[in-house]
Amino acid sequence: MAVFVSHSEEETLAWAEAFAKTLRAGDTVLLIGEMGAGKTVLAKGIARGLGVSSEVTSPTYAYINSYEGEIPLYHFDCYRVPSEDYARALGFEEYFGSGVCLVEWSENIASLLPDGVKRVEIVKTAAGREIRF
CA-to-CA separations, 77 to 10, 86, 118, in angstroms, rounded: 23, 13, 16
Give the model confidence (pLDDT) of 7-32 as tens digits: 999 999 999 999 999 999 999 999 99
**CB distance 128 to 6 below 8 Å:** yes
* pTM (predicted TM-score): 0.94
**Contact at 8 Å (CB) between 66 and 101?**
no
CATH number belonging to the domain at 3-132, selected among 3.40.50.2000, 3.30.365.10, 3.40.50.300, 3.40.50.2300: 3.40.50.300
Mean pLDDT of 112-122: 97
CA distance 67 to 45: 13
pLDDT for the residue 42: 97
Report which of 110, 117, 36, 47 is spatially closest to residue 75, judged by C-alpha positions.
47
The predicted structure's pLDDT at residue 59: 83
Q: Tell me: the pLDDT tens digits for 39-83?
A: 999 999 999 999 999 999 888 788 999 999 999 999 999 999 999
